[in-house]
Amino acid sequence: MHFYKKNKYVFTRVLLLPIIQFLRIIYQNYFLATIMNSEKIEYYMQVALAHAKKAHAIDEVPVGAIIVKDNKIIAGAHNQLIHNSDPTGHAEIIAIREAARIIGNYRLVGCDMFVTLEPCLMCLGAIFNARINSLFFGTYDKKTGACESVLSLASNKFINHHCTVQGGVLERETKALLQKFFKEKRQKKPLSANSGFYK
């Protein structure tokens, strides 16, 4: 204690100051660089929405997803369940497969996903297994949403991996596209009450 009081100035300048400067550099160059602002989040969701419109064009439920790494879009997809006769053909699954192929790794560490509809149980499980960093989704799915609408897996403490989740990004636009699709479906052929389709 006597040594510290006598050499307080030296202790502060020689030991603490370099540590503080190092932490400041890490904060500025890493944390600030990885934080997305709202404009960028909305831009990426617009791109995902464009993929959803591709699904609409081929009479699939209009859901689109993209995956971003280092501020670059590395994968994008839309629903293709009917088109490919594939019950796993959700936009999220297809985008994950494409991103993994491009990266050459089944772990998508440092990647973020943007999808127009809250992921279902299958897709959120794939997102967790891929080790995706952050998930942004558009409208909430009151039928099968696994983030918080029906299930709350994103906050389940028993799951060994989680990603940060933000819902409601461009909710009005993403919801409107789905409503338009199912309105067109109902006009052609009324949906049964237990169809499970988004209304």
List, for residues 147-162, the tens digit of each pLDDT value: 999 998 888 888 888 8
Name every residue whose Cβ is closer than 8 Å to that of residue 91 and which is 6 or more positions away in sequence: 51, 52, 55, 63, 64, 65, 77, 78, 79, 115, 116
Q: Distances in Å between the alpha carbon of 168 and those of 28, 45, 58, 93, 121?
A: 28, 10, 26, 21, 18
* Residues paired with residue 67 on neighbouring β-strands, in sequence order: 75, 113
User: With the C-alpha atoms ordered 74, 78, 79, 85, is the resulting torsion angle positive or negative?
Assistant: negative
Mapped onto helix, strand or coil, the DSSP state of residue 64 is strand
User: Do 95 and 66 form a contact (C-beta atoms < 8 A)?
Assistant: yes
Give the catalytic positions in this structure.
Answer: 92
pLDDT for the residue numbered 5: 54
pLDDT for the residue numbered 187: 85
pLDDT for the residue numbered 33: 46
User: Do 115 and 171 form a contact (C-beta atoms < 8 A)?
Assistant: no
| CB neighbours of residue 26 within 10 Å | 11
Task: Identify the segments of the chain with pLDDT beneath 70.
Answer: 1-18, 20-36, 189-199
pLDDT for the residue numbered 29: 45
pLDDT for the residue numbered 66: 98
pLDDT for the residue numbered 19: 73
pLDDT for the residue numbered 199: 47
3-state helix, strand, coil in the chain (%, to 5): 50, 15, 40
